[in-house]
Amino acid sequence: MEMLWLCTVLILMQDVLAVTWLHLAKQTSLRGALRDPGVCAGLTGLVEEQVRVCRRQVEAMEAVKRGAELAVEECQYQFHSRRWNCSTLQELQVFGKVAIQGTRESAFIHAISSAGVAFAVTRACSRGELEKCGCDRKIRGVSPEGFQWSGCSDNLSYGIAFSQAFVDNPERSRGISSSRALMNLHNNKAGRKALLAHMKVECKCHGVSGSCEVRTCWRVMPPFRKVGNVLKEKFEGATEVHPQQVGSRKLLVPKSSRFKPYTAHDLVYLLASPDFCDRDPRHGVFGTSGRQCNRTSPAMDGCELLCCGRGFHTTQAEVVERCSCKFRWCCSVKCKQCRHRVEVHSCR
């Protein structure tokens, strides 16, 4: 009996585990305390493997926390006008409840948080904040286009490896035969690919009065917003898959043969999403009642879709804006305050 109970608890835990480390984003008391491996065991949301990674590389944990913040901010930005607005990550007590497990929302969260860690750790490396990594000064010489490589290129290899150890290993230990784990691992990797595939080259010109006789260049990561935009697109085009035994291996294959095969850059999911219309706190769904909507938009932010056909209230609100700004010599800008009334619509 006791054994059975323990098993049930473990299975339930496994269902909510996957990204609970994002709790780090909300732990404000940590500033400056992330130097001592002793704090690792006390961090909320970390699983055993992650505590081990933390003990080994405690100096990187400030960056991991930053990565979690980036992921949560980006998720909320990308989803702010949808029924599911990523608030699962805002109210951490409902965090990870099962409504989104296995869905494309979960696919996005895994991808963006795996990319967030790789991004933040790489940035810390380039800034010289970590002992074990730095920027890449080995890209040297002259490129075919005739510019000189030099300076500090972002070296993604440490950040990527760190992200693998931190976000993938806990999934691996769930057993590679779990479809959920396969799904999460695939999406974690797709998130890192979105980062890798959009590395850019930045250059600076040297020479008399900007003649650009010599151009020195280095590689930088894209802004994190770019990664968010790419992954949001992947979310829209995500592939529904199901597990299939191929020889001794379990693989995720597209559910319909009409779907095009997915690549390492695409997101995959196992379960259709709920409609997120009605409040269901037990499953971490806020519902859309009270959400602001756009009366004329035919898209997801429009009242029709956002309010799930329940209709909306309209209220008047006053907005205050700066207006009639004048530049005054020298050097200030003087503005008036203009008030005007706007209609605000919110879902019933």
Ligand X SMILES: *[C@@H]1O[C@H](CO)[C@@H](O)[C@H](O)[C@H]1NC(C)=O
216 binds ligand X (CB under 6 A): no
Binding map of ligand X across residues 270-309, x = CB under 6 A, - = no contact: ----------------xxx-xx--x-xx------------
The Cα 93–Cα 219 span in angstroms is 40
178 binds ligand X (CB under 6 A): no
**Residue among 111, 88, 112, 110 at smallest CA distance from 98:** 88
Q: Select 257 or 296, whichever has its Cβ closest to ligand X.
A: 296
**Residue among 266, 261, 294, 139 at smallest CA distance from 201:** 139
**Residue among 324, 342, 321 at smallest CA distance from 334:** 324
The Cα 77–Cα 69 span in angstroms is 12
**Residue among 104, 101, 121 at smallest CA distance from 224:** 121
90 binds ligand X (CB under 6 A): yes
Span interacting with ligand X, options 96-104, 151-159, 197-205, 263-271, rule CB under 6 A: 151-159
50 binds ligand X (CB under 6 A): no
The owner of tokens 């150890």 is 165
105 binds ligand X (CB under 6 A): no
Q: 138, 260, 328, 339: which one contacts ligand X (CB under 6 A)?
A: 138
Q: 136, 154, 168, 171: which one contacts ligand X (CB under 6 A)?
A: 136
Q: Select 19 or 182, whichever has its Cβ closest to ligand X.
A: 19
158 binds ligand X (CB under 6 A): yes
78 binds ligand X (CB under 6 A): no
192 binds ligand X (CB under 6 A): no
What strands, in cross-sheet order, belong to the sheet with 239-246?
Answer: 249-254, 239-246, 268-269
The Cα 170–Cα 184 span in angstroms is 10
Interacting residue ranges for ligand X, rule: CB under 6 A: 76, 80, 85, 87, 90, 133, 136, 138, 155, 157-158, 286-288, 290-291, 294, 296-297
